[in-house]
Amino acid sequence: MNKKVIKPIDSEVRITGRYTTTGKVTDSDYTLYLAFSASGIEFKTNADKVTAEIVTDYMKDEKGCEAYLGVLVDNDELPYRKFVLDKDVAVYDIFDRKKYEQLKLDELGRHIKEGSAKYKSIVDKVHVVRIVKYTESYYAATGIRNITLEKEDREVESEPTKKRKHFVQIIGDSITCGYGVEASGAEESFCTATENPFKAYAVKACRELKYDYELVSRSGIGIVSIYTGDGVKNTDDFLMPELYPYKDRFLARKNGKEPEEYEFKRKPDLIVINLGTNDYSYTKDDPIRIEEFKDKYFEFVKTIRHMCPTAKITLAVGIMGQELFPAIKEVAEKMKDYGTHKVEALLFPAQEGEIDGYGADWHPSEVTQAKEAEVFKNYLTYAMIS
């Protein structure tokens, strides 16, 4: 058996999304912590088997707060596997090439002659393996250490995947995180087991277009207020302007450390801000509060423009409420007056839960998210050529 151990570092894997690290690369406990939903690592390999040492934290013991990881192979929409991190440190099975290829043969539903062109197109291939995070940064941590690759009959090969032409960053809330999208209905309460960013509009659209993407998202978050049930401004946790400039402020807080600033090594071509739904729980239709929202939003967009001076910026809202769209349009127009011409507003269609069903806590269902993904996909195609 030939074996190769790789680290979750740029020279051996491609890291997608934000992350932090602990320890020295030469240490056995060097750890890459994935930050926001849908972040991950990916690489190409001819390995027969892939395993990975993965760590999590105390929140694994809090029911409904556990971290979930998935494994995506090649261009498959559905995961090869999805699993919960239920141990502080453990080695998890990630990929078995022979089992995966047999699944692909079985999906064809008929006998394929060994040695045929079709057989060779499926069997003993080099595959792209992606280890991806399903769970928000706020909940249990997800850290990847050593990744072991094994090959029976020849040398193990692996290399990072290549970045794609277009790169989109989506700043959002629970809708972007895929909150409760796999729940049975509106009456079901949230838990991390039913959250899936890969079934949410943003990642789904970007994957179908073969764009690189990065989420900066957190359920309940807003610009001026977190979701509030009583109309009183809720600032009990980070608002998006306080979260965005950093790699992972939630993990830093858990560890009692100062947060690390995000370096923006790769600037997005397009930044989409899909916020305002939770802010409306505070502003309602109060003109003074709406002015406060607009002022804070404008300052936030200016901050983003300073960090990413060449990116197009889109201000979006609408899936779970369209009330603040006029205010958001005003912010986009004000940014043009400020001297920025690559800012526009996007209104998503409102969910139709009575027709398409609901996810947990009245959030978008899988059907709704798929419809919104089509809208977003069309918009992204337009935005990249305009």
Q: Are 318 and 347 in contact (CB under 8 A)?
A: yes
For residue range 230-247, list pLDDT tens digits in order. 999 999 999 999 999 999
Confidence (pLDDT) at 119: 81
Confidence (pLDDT) at 386: 82
For residue range 11-62, list pLDDT tens digits in order. 999 999 999 999 999 998 999 999 999 999 999 999 999 999 999 998 889 9
Number of domains in the chain: 2
- The answer to whether residues 211 and 118 belong to one domain is no
Structural domain of 16: 2-160
What are the beta bridge partners of residue 144?
A: 32, 54
> Which of 160, 188, 220 lies at the terminal end of a domain, its last residue?
160
Confidence (pLDDT) at 205: 99
Full DSSP string of 157-203: -EEEPPPPS-EEEEEESHHHHTTTTTSSSTTSPP-GGG--GGGSHHH
H/E stretch holding 303: helix 287-307
Confidence (pLDDT) at 1: 85
Q: Indicate the average pLDDT of the chain.
A: 96
> Tokens representing 263?
């370096």
- The answer to whether residues 51 and 126 belong to one domain is yes
Parallel, antiparallel or unpaired: strands 68-73 and 31-34: unpaired
Confidence class for position 286, pLDDT limits 50, 70, 90: very high
- The answer to whether residues 172 and 149 belong to one domain is no
Confidence (pLDDT) at 336: 84
For residue range 287-298, list pLDDT tens digits in order. 999 999 999 999
- The answer to whether residues 248 and 377 belong to one domain is yes
Confidence class for position 174, pLDDT limits 50, 70, 90: very high
CATH number of 85's domain: 2.60.120.260
Confidence (pLDDT) at 329: 98
Full DSSP string of 84-135: E--SSEEEEEEEEHHHHHHHHHHHTTS---TTSHHHHHHSS--EEEEEEE-S
CATH number of 225's domain: 3.40.50.1110
- The answer to whether residues 49 and 194 belong to one domain is no
Q: Is 306 helix (H, G, I), strand (E, B) or coil?
A: helix
Residues 301-324, mean pLDDT to the nearest whole number: 96
Confidence (pLDDT) at 115: 74
